[in-house]
Amino acid sequence: MFLIPGLTILFIIGLKDDLVVLSPFSKLAAQVISVTFILNNEAFMVNSLHGFFGIYDLPILVSYLIGGFIMVTIINAYNLIDGIDGLAAIVGIVILIIYSTIFYMTQDYFYLLLSLTLNGCLIAFLKYNLSSSSEEKIFMGDTGSLIVGFIISVLTMRFLALPSEKLEDLPFIVENIPLIAIGILIVPLFDTARVFTIRLANRKSPFSADRNHTHHILIDYFNISHKKASLIIGAFNLVFVYLIIVLGSTSFNFWLVAVIVLTVIVLAYFFYRYNYSFSNLKRKIKLKRKFNDVKKRGKNILKNDKPKE
């Protein structure tokens, strides 16, 4: 009953955005309202970090803030990666396979069923999304991406809020759970953080549209198809999750954090170097500032040269 209101709101907002473009703040308001329904259920409250960097119990207010931030971030991150054929579906399938396995091991069968059901939907959708026939081809749109992102955020919150008696069934150290969650969602989180940074550095709205996404770089610079780019990113997500889970079963916070940070730095450098728009970003900003300075000086000269009455 906590899922139905949130899904209904996001379905209506997503459908309207596909028909008549809505402002980012309208969609954000709808997401906050939808998330509120979930956070009112104790099953999704993150009350403890289980010793993650020495943090255990969390105050109620902090739990609400963390939960709201996590869910809204995941919803928007998943919505943003829906930029080429197959990518959102493939990444979603990889994420849901991991969550299906986790909830099977913890015997959370409702969330296992939810993961498998959505996975089946995405697999069926993928066939038509990647179809070369214009008569068969369909797109996810905001209606689909908001709903799928919302359900993935719900599954993530449930994973983070698992009671201690169920955590013993998982194959990794309990205190590594927050890092495991980051590893599972590495593709949408990295891509969102990257494009937001670029837009803010370029003095644009973080919600403005451009072609600075990871998948756009693979398509534009390396000249590969949508299908190949989606498969490459999906394969990376799967391999990275496997690596994080293996390390999470033997290593503590420091080494996992080191691996995640190193991976993000390497990816950021790679896509900084090969992104034609971002590689010239500093030069553009400096050139714009010089132009503004010259323009300002010109105005001052003209102002001073005006004949006095």
Residues annotated in the binding site, as ranges? 79, 142
DSSP SS3 for 203: coil
Residue 216: what residue type?
H
Please report, for residues 82, 143, 191, 192, 276, the alpha-carbon distance to residue 75 in angstroms, rounded to integers and kept in the order given: 11, 12, 13, 11, 28
Binding residues for Mg(2+), by number, are 79, 142
DSSP line for 204-266 = S-TT---S-SHHHHHHHTT---HHHHHHHHHHHHHHHHHHHHHHHTT--HHHHHHHHHHHHHH
- Which pair of structure tokens corresponds to residue 267? 């990816």
> Rounded to an integer, what distance in angstroms lies between the CA atom of residue 225 and that of residue 235?
15
DSSP SS3 for 50: strand
For 51, the enclosing helix (H) or strand (E) is strand 48-52
Closest CA to 163 of 300, 50, 1, 21: 50
